[in-house]
Amino acid sequence: MIVRILGKGQFRLDDNQLGRLNELDNAVAAAVAAGDAGGFARAFSDLIDMVETSGTPVADSDLVTSDHVLPHVDTTLEEAREAFAGEGAIPG
């Protein structure tokens, strides 16, 4: 699977990493729900680290679409909250 970190580009990860990825992602969501800025910063940096260390960067010459997209590494709790709340009715 291909995961894009905005600003950092795309990473190719083994499909069997999806479970771990979701686990870390749920921890991020829980911190957002709790409004816990410190917890969010930790969980989000764990998630980014996991993608960067377990994945390999997609070559510049490869033009592929991403399966998953993560926001910028310096995303704040406030911005994450907006991603959950904002944009109203997104189909799907």
Partner 1 sequence: MAGLMSRFTTLFKVKANKALDRAEDPGETLDYSYQKQLEMLQKVKRGVADVVTSKKRLQLQTAKLEESIVKLDGQARQALAANREDLARTALERKTLIQGQLQGLDAQIAQLEQQQQTLIDQERRLSAKVESFRTQKEVVKAQYSAAEAQVRIGEATTGLGEEMSDVGMALSRAQDKTEQMQARASAVNELVETGAIDDLTAPAGSDLDQQIAALTAGSQVDSELAKMKAELGAGAPAGELGAGAAAAEAAPTEEKAP
The footprint of partner 1 on residues 24-53 (CB under 8 A) is: 25-26, 28-30, 32-33, 44, 47
Which of 15, 16, 19, 63: binder of partner 1 (CB under 8 A)? 63
7 binds partner 1 (CB under 8 A): yes
Least distance CB 74 / partner 1 (angstroms): 7
Give the helix ranges, DSSP H, for the chain: 18-34, 37-54, 77-85
Read out DSSP for 50-68?
A: HHHHHSEEPPTT-----SE
Residue 15 interacts with partner 1 (CB under 8 A)? no
Buried b (16+ CB within 10 A) or exposed e, 23-49: ebbebbeebbeeeeeebbeebbeebbe
User: Given the rule CB under 8 A, which residues bind partner 1?
Assistant: 4, 6-9, 21-22, 25-26, 28-30, 32-33, 44, 47, 60-72, 74, 80, 83-84, 87, 90, 92
